[in-house]
Structure 1
Amino acid sequence: MTGGSTLLWGIGTTRTFRAHFALIERGVSYETVPIRTRTNSQDREDFRAVSISGKIPVLQIDDLTLSESAAIARYVTTRGLKSKSAIDQTFIDQWAFFMMTELDATALYVLRRHEGLPEIYGEAEAAVVAARAYFYRQINALDDALLDGRKFLLPDSFTELDILLISILDWARILNMLLSDAVQSYAAGIRQRDTYQEAFKVNYKS
């Protein structure tokens, strides 16, 4: 990366969407390098120089090279802002870890592997059934939080949590998961944001 430019490597996945949404939400000017998962673009030497694992997204910003979509979303959305109190940050961490471990990795990504990509990861009907059931059990925590009709997961403001959550709900919708009225109402509100719509276009329609 030269000249202080901001580069985002990766398009086309739920996880790359999080990075695009964060950057657009904060009004950060950046360039997109269209690396797509499971394509030859992942073998580009310039990409491997910034991502040894070949995983996307990768963000180069402020002389930093960041990976992991949740970390990117946090850095970008909090960049230059006053730090939150320890208590407030703990609640943000609680929700972020919950979404990344219980909903994304343990439930939805299992479905992605064994239902969406059986030719690579193998068929595993029992794992698919269990993952769907697990998602429904865990999403109850969000149902409870959103029953009051709040617009954002933290009632007072839009945060990286909303970026993580809408990406998960979009993914769940693709997988035909049934979501409560409260969750669907929340998701509809986030999807109306101009920044969401721009990020969706850049990430999925480029």
Structure 2
Amino acid sequence: MALKLYGLPMSTNTTRAMICLHEKEVDFELVPVNVFSAEHKQPPFLSKNPFGLIPVLEDGDLTLFESRAITAYVAEKLKETGEDLIRHKDAKEAAVVKVWTEVESHYYDPAVSPIIYEYFVAPFEGKEPDKSVIDTNVEKLKKVLDVYEGRLSSSKYLAGDFYSLADLNHVSETHYFMQTPYASLINERPHVKAWWEDISSRPAFNKVVGGMTFGQSQE
């Protein structure tokens, strides 16, 4: 039975899961959820995720929500397939992967997500972007990226000289961030820039990037 992923390609959280599935070269069905008509807030979807957020993964009788939990599950279940995203054969490397996946969740995402929201989502909803929110989080992100620059000066990727879940979890949000006026925060840090150019050029991401068109005209 093919895995089912409920979500939308423009969603950073959905594409985070999709990238992982593509890295693992596994067949899956993307089931569109019309968030614009609030389908994700209706009982059929709430039975899958009571918090009413995409994505949701179904694997037989298992239903998962939260994109990082989904990527962790896929990486573990299919650890012998495709890229080894969790370094399951080396306990020390696996521990470092976990550290940097936590860093993404607790430091990077809380800084970059509000910037993306204000730049893309607020105008889409007819709101003026809140510059004070952007400015506050730009300062937070600078500090995080300074740490990344130091880390990436001694290793090619965040957890070591190997691509892992720690890097993958950054890709979808960073893609949108790089289309904002604040992309210089990454471009002016040479090791972070090289890292981003590397992880954003992988075939798995190239399979989903065409659908990441939130807030942009589609021609």
What TM-score comes out, normalization by structure 2 length?
Answer: 0.78
Q: CA RMSD in A?
A: 2.8
For 2:93, the equivalent position in structure 1 comes to 88
Take 2:135 and 2:54, find their aligned partners in 1: how far apart are those partners?
28
Query: Identity over the aligned pairs, expressed in percent?
Result: 21
User: Residue 7 of structure 1: SS of its match in structure 2?
Assistant: strand
Shift of 1:13: 1.3
Q: Deviations over 1:135-156 (max 9, x none)?
A: 1111111111222472x33334
For 2:197, the equivalent position in structure 1 comes to 188
Take 1:127 and 1:202, find their aligned partners in 2: how far apart are those partners?
27
Q: Which has the higher helix share?
A: 1
Q: Deviations over 1:41-72 (max 9, x none)?
A: 32454322212221011111253211111111
Structure 1 range deviating more: 32-41 or 46-55: 32-41
Take 1:137 and 1:36, find their aligned partners in 2: how far apart are those partners?
36
Take 2:76 and 2:3, find their aligned partners in 1: how far apart are those partners?
16
For 2:167, the equivalent position in structure 1 comes to 162
1:109 matches 2:96: no
Would you say the 8 A contact 1:10–1:16 is kept in 2?
yes
Q: Which consecutive unaligned segments of at least 5 residues does structure 2 have?
A: 81-87
For 1:128, the equivalent position in structure 2 comes to 134
Structure 1 range deviating more: 124-133 or 195-204: 195-204
Aligned residues: 201
Shift of 1:25: 0.8
Shift of 1:111: 2.3
Would you say the 8 A contact 2:116–2:177 is kept in 1?
no
User: Residue 8 of structure 1: SS of its match in structure 2?
Assistant: strand
For 2:83, the equivalent position in structure 1 comes to none
